[in-house]
Structure 1
Amino acid sequence: MSSNIPENLKQPISLWLAQDRNEKTCKEIAELCDAENWSELHERLNSRLQFGTAGLRARMEAGFSRMNTLVVIQATQGLAQYIKKQFPDHLVAVVGHDHRFNSMDFAKATATVLLKAGFEVHYLNQGDSYVHTPMVPFTVDRVKASVGVMITASHNPKLDNGYKVYYANGCQIIPPHDSAIARSIESNLEPGNGVWDWDQTMQQAADEGKLIYGRDKMLEQYISCVKDSFVTELDSLPKGKPWFVYTPMHGVGYQVFDQIASKILQLEVNRDFLVVSEQLNPDPEFPTVQFPNPEEKGALDLAIKLAENHGIKLVIASDPDADRFSVAFKGPHGWQQLSGNDIGFLFAYYELQKYRGFDAEYQKSHPLAMLNSTVSSQMINSMAALEGFHHEDTLTGFKWIGNRALELEARGYYVPFGFEEAIGYMFPATEHDKDGISAAVVFLQAYHSWISQGKSPLDILDEASAKYGVFREYNGYYLVDEPSLTNKTFAYIREDYTPKGENYPRTIGDLQVKTFRDLTTGYQSDTPNNIPNLHVDPSSQMITIVAQPKGGGSGEHVRFTLRGSGTEPKLKVYIEAGAQSDPRARELARQTWDILREEWFNRPGLTTKF
């Protein structure tokens, strides 16, 4: 190892090499020292990967600021101690993992630390098996666990991995648990005795009944729950000729989807539906897609090509850990991938029709409620106002949607559905988190029901626009060269762009601001005492504005949210415009993007992406 190590790197390098027992990551640090790559070592060792409401997610490399076995062990030690204080008499945990690089090792390390801390662990993997992310919150609910951990980076690039935590209520953690767990991690960084001895610890725990391999039992319960909760159109689903294409996007979704299709929906692969063979098997390389995210341009090309070759008009997809769901449909003008907001409305429409078929007494005692994140379309809000059911916005993320659904259910509401525009859909009958498999089951039945009535999904969306108003989105993001640029951009909006003496800008280019909400500073222009109606978090950046175009027509408005991503180097922009016609709404949404880019985002280090 180099003898030229700078003084301010000697301690973190020594600490890493003293704590890490993974040969690969120890070698990485040693090689960086030999190469005298001090800047890279500073980046990896000078700060810790921060634990938040999304848990942990980062590139898999050596270093305290990356995802690796040591960081997972340290995080789990802190998590275990926090949960022990919350539930001292009920130490039960659930652990699962997907197929990404190192996922199995990270899961074993997690399970081992929890076992050493005195937990009973329900381990959802055995041998080379994988689970889709929704199985962890589903199992937390069924075994009444006090905590659950899923090792996955969802749809992130192949070299990323993550550590997602579920609380005892089956929902992802929210404040104050996130910061309390982070503090507990900082207090429990020294690896405990035996935490690297995974196989020995897990074998002994299995022999003693403390480690329970529960995948098969839980999967059977999950499939049964899906059947009991969602299957209403079984007898009418077409058989004998493929009518849709499914792709699991090189992920873990096919195994569970195929079991549900065959055992419940009575649909057989290659007879009733087709699967993209190139994307069928779990593959952490994700070789056929640039990004393993069904939303990304080109991700569904193979599925659409397969459908086109067989005269099929419907494509459905799940992301690699199968908690997200997407749809493409061939209409009169060719193939169109539905937006997350479009799919969300179609689900809400379908659930409303089902609810109206319920017994009148049940409807009276269980009023209907639906939820979506505040960056998602306001069309369901408009529908709720007209149709007379309860609707709420939440903060972005299913940690908020799921927790709020539980609160409403406790008050007697029937909450069949919640969503966010990033192709995430929650059906609480299975779990209070997004689930791409249950979404697929519901959508296939809804789709066939509409087709049987002579309507396509596009027809339903057109009818909705005529009844509830025309809402069109123009969403995108800016890649951020360095994290500080996000904070600097928001500071510019608040401090430089906003006139002195004002709390927010009254105009933005040709837009007249009507309402302004800043969930970072805790200000909202249209509430009593200007207190926001959603949770304030000074550690994250988020501003929402409703505005009208100067000289615009009656009823024209735009609603847009700017926020920094918690898991990716992105500054996200969500725009939705309302107008009298489809062309005008699309034009207004695009104009708003251009105005914001010119006024706020035309800055070095920000690169536009859609």
Structure 2
Amino acid sequence: MSDLSGLRRRAEEWLSQDPDPATRAELRQILDAADGTADGAADGTAEAALADRFGARLEFGTAGLRGELGAGPNRMNRVTVMRAAAGLAACLPPGGRVVVGFDARHGSRRFAQDTAAVLTGAGLKVELFAGPVPTPVVAHRVRASEDAVAGVVVTASHNPPRDNGYKVYWADGAQIVPPRDAEISAAIDAVGRVDELPLGAGWTVLEDLGPYLDAVSGLRLGDARDVSIVYTPMHGVGGPVLLEAFERAGFPAPEVVPEQAEPDPDFPTVAFPNPEEPGALDLALGLAAARGADLVIANDPDADRCAVAVPGPGGWRALTGDEVGGLLAEHVLRHTSGDDRLAVTTIVSSSLLGSIARAHGVRSAESLTGFKWIMKAGGPGDRLVFGYEEALGYSVGDDRGVLVNDKDGIGAALAVAALAAEARRDGRTLLDLLDDQARRYGLHATAQLSVRVADLSLITGAMARLRAEPPAALAGRAVESFEDLAEGAGGLPPTDGLRFRLAGRARVVVRPSGTEPKLKCYLEIVLPVEGGEDVAAVRARAAEELEALRTDVSRSLALN
């Protein structure tokens, strides 16, 4: 247990400057309990709560801030947010313009208003969206603005209801990368009491989403429009913007899952508001089956991710991020031109993108995980037209290049709809297109193994063991090469990860999650589809081999 007197001192200092009556009341209750019960006995649970809130702090990194709501520096609250805003302001040129947006989570509007007040008080110009907006709308606004120097979105994306977060964009509308994150973090550390910060007013209130809607609905990726879609915004903020974008682009209006249509920060119909999670799409799939729809499209709560499901012989199934990424890559490259085109994915995504790019005569690149790195790939002469990561994140472009320098679940939804409508016009489905790619490039089968832990030291230990004694073989395949990504393998920036290349075109990447207490393993096996071989049979064989690989990797981690 941390020193109680030191924790109490930090807590009392926090109380004296916290402008939020709710977190003040929460902290006062914890302090009273830690002081002792009626019979004078100290409450160990309250001491633990103090240690959890004041024994550490949320770290500001390339993902900004993200954490549980509550009092203290290790929680998301008004003090944490005001300190973050003041630290950001110290790193921006005086008089610059900052775009601020927020989602519909608990506290988001208040955190965005606090951010606007602190930034304005620091002499910056602020544009604050009037209501909750999708994250890609903010990213687009920053990039499209002539004088924006940064952007902020208050969101925790698809995290649980108890969380919130603080995402920072730079002037190009892309997420920050090192060393800028460290500079902002150091500036946050130097911030004094938040009740002594100068606060401003008079920021510009943004109500017009027209620039984003014009850009995204104008994507030139084919003219087919006849497709029937069931859509869910997953209790988030994507619904109105997506429906308007579809109408402007000439698509039939998707049918929205009524139980999930309106923003609700408690996400009452899903255990976890992430379309990748089991059960999250159940309501949408049920409605699609009842309506005989061609397609299900889902956004996560801040609408920067896009999930897709399709009907098949065995019923509806969700496509993986890699499957959607491969389909969209081919669709974008078919509808664009120019030798300067670039398509980018990450080291944990399928290697299929490289084969597709080569077939279309364009360059491809791999980046570290996250769109902050995808947007930094390539050189001055490259025109990025498509980027994706396997976690349902896509940035879609046309001959203008990508429209948003981050994940854009609404742009991706429009591109998927156009692709599905084009296939339908030709008497085909997205599953047919996946089989075509398997025959053309080989079947690229991917899967994940995620191990959640209560103690982060277990992850550190597992990574250390794998570095010290990498396996010689996995699932009967020899490990032909082993790369420690912490050493900056392949010209990439250093990151905590390991990559194993296996005999017979297979690969395993192991890395700790950047946002959750998980160790994540990304598996890929590539199998040829010979002659008239049945693709379904090859998929079944690949699934068996992936399961064997998953079992062997799990055994090597020794975390269960």
Q: State the TM-score, normalized to the length of structure 2.
A: 0.92
Q: Within 5 A, what are the aligned runs for 1:86-101? A: 87-88=93-94, 90-101=95-106
Distance 2:418 2:471 in 1: 47
Which residue in the other structure is 2:485 paired with? 519
Q: RMSD of the alignment, in Å? A: 1.8
Distance 1:146 1:438 in 2: 24
The one-character-per-residue Cα deviations of 1:38-75 (angstroms, maximum 9, x if unpaired) are: 11101110111100000000010111111111001111
Which residue in the other structure is 1:295 paired with? 276
Q: CA deviation at 1:95?
A: 0.3
Secondary structure of 1:546's match? strand
1:117 maps to 2:95 = no
Q: Give every structure 1 segment of 4 or more consecutive aligned residues whose post-TM-superposition deviation is greater than 4 Å.
A: none
Listed as ranges, the gaps of 5+ residues in structure 2 are: 35-45, 529-537
Q: CA deviation at 1:6?
A: 2.8
Distance 1:314 1:508 in 2: 37
Q: Within 5 A, what are the aligned runs for 1:556-575? A: 556-575=504-523
1:163 maps to 2:166 = yes
Q: CA deviation at 1:191?
A: 1.5
1:314 maps to 2:295 = yes
1:533 maps to 2:518 = no
Distance 1:509 1:12 in 2: 52
Q: CA deviation at 1:492?
A: 1.9
Q: CA deviation at 1:261?
A: 2.0
Q: CA deviation at 1:523?
A: 6.0
Q: Which residue identity does 1:175 align to in structure 2? A: P
Which residue in the other structure is 2:225 paired with? 237
Q: CA deviation at 1:491?
A: 1.4
Single out whichever of 508-517 and 586-595 deviates more from structure 2: 508-517
1:228 maps to 2:197 = no
Which residue in the other structure is 2:187 paired with? 184
The one-character-per-residue Cα deviations of 1:189-216 (angstroms, maximum 9, x if unpaired) are: 4225355x6xxx43xx2xxxxx111231
Distance 1:189 1:435 in 2: 36
Distance 1:452 1:266 in 2: 14
Which residue in the other structure is 1:213 paired with? 205
Which residue in the other structure is 1:494 paired with? 467
Match of 1:280 among 261, 270, 280: 261
Secondary structure of 1:182's match? helix
Q: Which residue identity does 1:213 align to in structure 2? A: V
Q: CA deviation at 1:508?
A: 4.8
Q: Which residue identity does 1:117 align to in structure 2? A: A
Which residue in the other structure is 1:501 paired with? none
Q: CA deviation at 1:438?
A: 0.7
Is the Cα–Cα contact under 8 Å of residues 403 and 432 in structure 1 kept in the other structure? no
Secondary structure of 2:491's match? coil
Distance 2:373 2:313 in 1: 38
Distance 1:484 1:26 in 2: 32
Distance 1:484 1:421 in 2: 27
Which residue in the other structure is 1:139 paired with? 141
Q: CA deviation at 1:227?
A: 3.0
> Equivalent pairs: percent with the same residue?
37
Which residue in the other structure is 1:26 paired with? 24
Q: Within 5 A, what are the aligned runs for 1:315-354? A: 315-354=296-335
The one-character-per-residue Cα deviations of 1:289-335 (angstroms, maximum 9, x if unpaired) are: 11111111111111111111122231111111011001110012211
Secondary structure of 2:148's match? coil
Single out whichever of 148-157 and 379-388 deviates more from structure 2: 379-388
Q: CA deviation at 1:509?
A: 6.7
1:67 maps to 2:67 = no
Is the Cα–Cα contact under 8 Å of residues 55 and 165 in structure 1 kept in the other structure? yes
Which residue in the other structure is 1:543 paired with? 498
Q: CA deviation at 1:587?
A: 2.0
Distance 1:189 1:586 in 2: 55
Secondary structure of 1:403's match? coil
Distance 2:557 2:452 in 1: 14
The one-character-per-residue Cα deviations of 1:403-441 (angstroms, maximum 9, x if unpaired) are: 22xx54x31x33211000000001253211110111111
1:384 maps to 2:357 = yes
Listed as ranges, the gaps of 5+ residues in structure 1 are: 206-210, 499-503, 525-531, 549-555, 604-610
Distance 2:293 2:396 in 1: 27
Q: State the TM-score, normalized to the length of structure 1.
A: 0.84
Q: Which residue identity does 1:55 align to in structure 2? A: G
Q: Which residue identity does 1:223 align to in structure 2? A: L
Distance 1:247 1:508 in 2: 39
Q: CA deviation at 1:369?
A: 1.5
Secondary structure of 1:161's match? strand
Q: Which residue identity does 1:399 align to in structure 2? A: K
Distance 1:291 1:137 in 2: 25
Closer, same or farther: CA 444–55 of 1 in aligned 2, 3 Å = same
1:12 maps to 2:21 = no
Is the Cα–Cα contact under 8 Å of residues 325 and 439 in structure 1 kept in the other structure? yes
